[in-house]
């Protein structure tokens, strides 16, 4: 399914600012307006003349649901949804990037000069892939922690490698990155 996101974004910019709310029902109509009691956005009506009380109640219920739906779709909400969608599309595109030659890999921009990447190394036909680290001009497979005998002391161990390709690591979920959700 394809949508015209640019057209939707343009309508968000032109629409009356929100947030919006659906006013109290008034007979056969309900007005959606700015929450602060400001301008009316639109009015919804019960259509036709229901022939039974049950039919009338059903149409009133549908009209109320439509009004609440319209009110929930204020410009800020739609803009936030579009921004979230754009960020997800960018992340999907980033993750689709193919492996790149190791000569194009970035150098860490921190004081120690290291950066974590996905790396591919080993002879053709028998390559390994995994997280790895570039430290200045050296490359290491992801460090491992291992047990040293009976004392259960753990040590940091890295293996120097000669990678042929790299790709960026995916972004951490907000819950793991320390950023507010």
- Checking if the pLDDT of 80 tops 90, the result is yes
Nearest 5°: phi and psi at 16? -65, 135
Within this chain, do residues 84 and 157 fall inside the same structural domain, yes or no? no
Q: What is the pLDDT of residues 104-158, one digit of tens each?
A: 998 887 787 788 898 998 887 788 888 888 888 889 887 655 555 555 555 556 7
Please tell me the predicted confidence (pLDDT) of residue 1: 53
Could you tell me which of 129, 136, 133 has the C-alpha nearest to residue 157? 133
Residue 110 domain boundaries: 98-169
Q: What is the mean pLDDT of residues 12-33?
A: 84
Boundary residue ending a domain (93, 127, 153): 93
pLDDT at 162: 92
| More reliable by pLDDT, 43 or 180 | 43
Q: Residue 76: what pLDDT?
A: 93
Among 41, 70, 93, residue at a domain's last position = 93
Span 73-89, average pLDDT: 93
Is residue 70 domain-shared with residue 108, that is, in the same domain?
Answer: no
Mean pLDDT of 50-73: 85
Q: What value does the mean pLDDT take over residues 19-43?
A: 82
Q: Report the pLDDT value the prediction gives residue 165, as an integer from 0 to 100.
A: 92
pLDDT > 90 fraction of the chain, expressed in percent and rounded: 20
**Domain presence at residue 181:** no
Pure H helices in 15-154: 53-72, 75-95
Q: What are phi and psi of 3, to 5 degrees?
A: -125, 155
| Burial class of 147 by CB neighbour count within 10 A (0 to 12, 13 to 18, 19+) | exposed
32 in any annotated domain: yes
Query: Which pLDDT belongs to residue 62?
Result: 86
Q: 58, 93, 128: which is the final residue of a domain?
A: 93
The overall average pLDDT reported for the chain is 81
pLDDT band at 101; cut points 50, 70, 90: very high
Check whether residue 11 and residue 76 sit in a common domain. yes
**Mean per-residue pLDDT, 38-55:** 80
């Amino acid at each position: 399914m394809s949508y015209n996101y640019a057209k939707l974004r343009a309508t968000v910019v032109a629409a009356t600012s929100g947030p919006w709310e659906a006013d109290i029902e008034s007979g056969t109509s309900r007005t959606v307006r700015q929450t602060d009691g400001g301008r009316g956005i639109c009015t919804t009506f019960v259509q036709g003349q229901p022939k039974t009380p049950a039919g009338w109640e059903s149409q009133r219920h549908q009209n109320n649901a439509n009004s609440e739906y319209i009110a929930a779709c204020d410009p800020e909400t739609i803009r936030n949804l579009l921004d979230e969608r754009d960020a997800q599309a960018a992340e999907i595109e980033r993750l689709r990037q193919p492996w790149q030659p190791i000569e194009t890999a970035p150098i860490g921009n921190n004081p120690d000069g290291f950066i974590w990447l996905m790396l591919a190394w080993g002879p053709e036909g028998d390559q390994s892939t995994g997280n790895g680290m570039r430290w200045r001009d050296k490359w290491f497979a992801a460090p491992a922690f291992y047990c040293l005998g009976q004392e259960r002391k753990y040590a940091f161990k890295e293996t120097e490698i000669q990678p042929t390709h790299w790709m960026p690591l995916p972004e951490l979920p907000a819950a793991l990155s320390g950023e507010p959700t």
